[in-house]
């Protein structure tokens, strides 16, 4: 995908990234995407990626690494660009960024009802880790909006 540039987020991308995340159903009322961007840029700006085509944001993702495992969140591709390899290109960049930092593995969280996204990751070689079932637990430290029901 030589015509698509994948680069670190710049402030001028903010509106397009938030709009993309909203249009693709990634946002929730209890997660403020602007705050998430602010937090990511403050912590690790290298890990907020955008794919642009002629200066238009067509994909975005947040990449993280905690020293033990990597993560990719908020991966979204503009529906007009679906099926053209943009998501694969962004994931390849994310995987390379993590590999360059010595990251040994990536863990993903995908909503169970999102079969298309699960299939996307499976095609890239992602699979459930063997062993016992892992439960995701969380604790909200800073409220961004109304709590989920």
Q: What is the pLDDT of residues 87-105, one digit of tens each?
A: 999 999 999 999 999 999 9
pTM for the predicted model, two decimal places: 0.88
pLDDT tens digits, one per residue of 70-87: 999 999 999 999 999 999
Residue 62 in this model has a pLDDT that exceeds 60: yes
pLDDT tens digits, one per residue of 30-52: 889 999 999 999 999 999 999 99
Question: In Å, how far are 13, 40, 43, 66, 99 from 106, measured between CA atoms?
Answer: 26, 18, 19, 11, 10
Task: Reply yes or no on domain 5-123 having CATH 3.30.565.10.
Answer: no
> What residues contact residue 36 under an 8 Å CB cut-off, 6+ apart?
62, 74
Q: pLDDT-based confidence at 18, cuts 50/70/90?
A: very high
């Amino acid at each position: 995908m030589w015509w698509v540039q994948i680069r670190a987020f710049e402030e001028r991308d903010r509106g397009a990234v938030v709009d993309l995340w909203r249009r693709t159903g990634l946002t929730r009322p209890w997660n403020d995407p602007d705050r998430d961007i602010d937090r990511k840029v403050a912590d690790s700006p290298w890990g907020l990626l955008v794919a642009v085509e002629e200066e238009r944001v067509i994909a975005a993702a947040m990449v993280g690494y905690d020293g033990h495992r990597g993560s990719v969140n908020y991966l979204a591709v503009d529906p007009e660009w679906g099926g053209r390899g943009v998501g694969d290109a962004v994931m390849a960049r994310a995987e390379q960024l993590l590999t360059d930092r010595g990251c040994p593995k990536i863990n993903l969280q995908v909503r169970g009802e999102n079969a298309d996204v699960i299939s996307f990751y499976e095609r890239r070689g992602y699979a459930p880790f063997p062993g016992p079932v892992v439960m995701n637990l969380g604790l909200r430290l800073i409220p961004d909006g109304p709590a989920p029901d």
